[in-house]
Chain A
């Protein structure tokens, strides 16, 4: 614990100088190091919401496990959903190094005081959505998360290195699944195109609001939690996706999407920020369903957790 007392204003200044120098030198901040309160609370919020996204993100994909059309695809999807639970666990552990508790963070998720990624409020309506999530949603997540592997907070950066390795694997599998559909029967191809049409814009929204409306960006970049702006990462993602869509034989649902020779980037159409804000406010297609399922799993499991705690207590007494 590194709370600075009121009588140590000078010491606080000295700590801050050490912290700033470490960040400037690209050194990692570790759990026992002094850090500004805003750095600590901002990171807890960001890491927790990242963890929540992994946990809520299990739902749209788990929706298709029991209907997966081949045993191979079923195994891949089951492994992926399992990985997501594991990513949630890494991330809650990283948040706990900052003094938060997992129970408290889950409570904040369940009561709506902390958010999760807007993308998981969209429904998976066909099997192709599973492939589109792998390609686009995991692709966007990786674009966001690779720079976080160099984030100034050590435990978060290390969690991201592990997460990114697994996410890249999922993303390739998603692409490969869409490719199989795209090259399959006309019905399968249409299913793949429909999924991409529905997931493209929500995926672009995953990078957050435009730079001039992003509340936390400037401070996050100064502290080297974030390395690139929302719009930079979104542009990078679009540039990556365009040739991939071409090789998939699928189109992206944006009539304004075209290569801009001067910028050396693709121009793309306007994002519907009104929709984004509605989803963030809880008015997306699945917000209610996602949080209700999460709460129910937690509430229905209460007796199981109580049993485990009671058994552990008895066992401790017995061996004490």
Chain B
């Protein structure tokens, strides 16, 4: 398989499918999985080695299904340039400390659970899931676990020690501006009311932060170049290096199979 092979180019996607949405959601899962995998061997507890790898693996599985709906998964993952990726900027944010990783998980898994819940319901009702209902039905069980993991840790860290509270509040504040982008409507997912999705997300996240004794930031959730551009292929600076690492070996052996 090479990039030049027209038979495997993304254009071969089934027309009924919301290919743009599948690509965006697939890229989200791929990038967040990659970030979580960077924790392997560095986690604060052995139990977290297992948990973070487990979540990374679930997300990688979702990415593979979603990207395969669009084209060849490896071609899409390894041979696109930075500007062609459609993931939300939240998912590419560096791990930072454990609090940053957990807050990123809280924000993203809450979004995924609410979105996949709606897509699953739409598939059941036979209306407007963009062809993603099957994936969503499988993934919704995984993301419920991810959200629970993130919530439990947000509570422990927010309401733990002075230091953990301070670190977690810093993460809540730093990542807040990347959350608005998640609710820009993705084409083809007619069943999703994005305004309602956003308000459900705010309600859920606000409740968890409150229970964790953390303050909901009052800063912007989108704005100019700072956030909200990942879906258009405009990413933050660390993204290029992350891709360089991810793609290097594959690109060094064009046409090879592994």
Contacts and interface: CB of A to CB of B under 8 A. Distances in A.
Interface of A: 55, 58-59, 62, 65-75, 78-79, 81-82, 85-86, 88-89, 92, 127, 177, 180-181, 184-185, 187-188, 293, 296-298, 300-312, 314
A308 B256 CA distance: 46
Interface residues of B, number: 49
Nearest to A313: B160
Given A74-B60, A78-B60, A297-B44, A310 B50 contact: no
Given A67-B245, A69-B78, A82-B49, 14 more contacts: A66-B38, A67-B249, A70-B78, A74-B60, A75-B57, A78-B60, A89-B46, A185-B253, A301-B45, A301-B98, A304-B98, A305-B45, A307-B163, A307-B164
Interface of B: 30, 34, 37-38, 40-50, 53-54, 56-57, 60-61, 63-64, 67, 73-74, 77-78, 97-98, 155-157, 159-161, 163-164, 167, 245-246, 248-250, 253, 255-258
A300 B167 CA distance: 13
B43 A86 contact: no
Nearest to B60: A75
Contacts, number: 143
A184 B164 contact: no
Given A67-B248, A293-B42, A85 B53 contact: yes
B258 A308 contact: no
Contact of B34 (A66, A82, A89, A177): A66
A184 B256 contact: yes
A308 B46 contact: no
A55 B258 CA distance: 27
B47 A58 contact: no
A303 B41 contact: no
A85 B157 CA distance: 23
A43 B30 CA distance: 43
